[in-house]
Amino acid sequence: MLVTGLMIPRPTPVTAHRPSRIWCMRCENGFIDNGQQHWDDRYSKRTPAAPRAPEILAINPEMTPLVPTSGRALDIACGRGAQAVWLASRGLNVVAIDVSGVAVALTNAAARASDVADLVDARQQNLEDGLPGDLQDFDIIVCQRFRNRRILEVLSRRLRSGGVAFVTVLSTVGLDRSPGRFHASSGELVEFLTSADTEIVWDLEANGIASIVIRRT
**CATH code: domain of residue 194:** 3.40.50.150
Distance CA 217, CA 197 (A): 5
Amino acid residing at 116: V
Domain count, the chain: 1
- Note whether residue 13 is domain-resident: no
Residue 181 has a pLDDT of: 77
Contact (CB, 8 A) for 57 and 23: no
pLDDT of residue 62: 97
CA 210/CA 173 separation, integer angstroms: 8
Q: Has residue 34 been placed in a domain?
A: no
Side chain identity, residue 80: R
CB 121 within 8 A of CB 100: no
Q: What is the pTM of this model?
A: 0.83
Asked if residue 107 belongs to a domain, the reply is yes
In a domain, 145, yes or no: yes
What range does the domain containing 79 cover?
47-216
Q: Determine, yes or no, domain membership for 3.
A: no
Question: In this structure, is residue 7 part of a structural domain?
Answer: no
Q: Establish if 23 belongs to a structural domain.
A: no
Q: Does a structural domain hold residue 180?
A: yes
For residue 95, which of 115, 77, 114 has the smallest C-alpha distance?
77
| Contact by Cβ (8 Å): 193, 165 | yes
Please report, in tens digits, the pLDDT of each residue of the chain (217 residues total): 434 444 333 443 333 333 333 344 454 443 334 578 888 988 898 999 999 999 999 999 999 999 999 999 999 999 999 999 999 999 999 999 999 999 999 999 999 999 999 999 999 999 888 899 999 999 999 999 898 888 999 999 999 999 999 999 999 999 988 887 778 999 999 999 999 999 999 999 999 999 999 999 9
Q: Which residues pair with 20 in a beta bridge?
A: none
Residue 43 CA to residue 106 CA, distance in Å, equals 8
Rounded CA-CA distance 171/205 in Å is 7
97-100 contact pairs (CB < 8 A, 24+) = 97/122, 97/123, 97/124, 97/125, 97/127, 97/135, 98/39, 98/122, 98/124, 98/125, 99/34, 99/36, 99/39, 99/124, 99/125, 99/126, 99/127, 100/36, 100/39, 100/40, 100/42, 100/43, 100/124
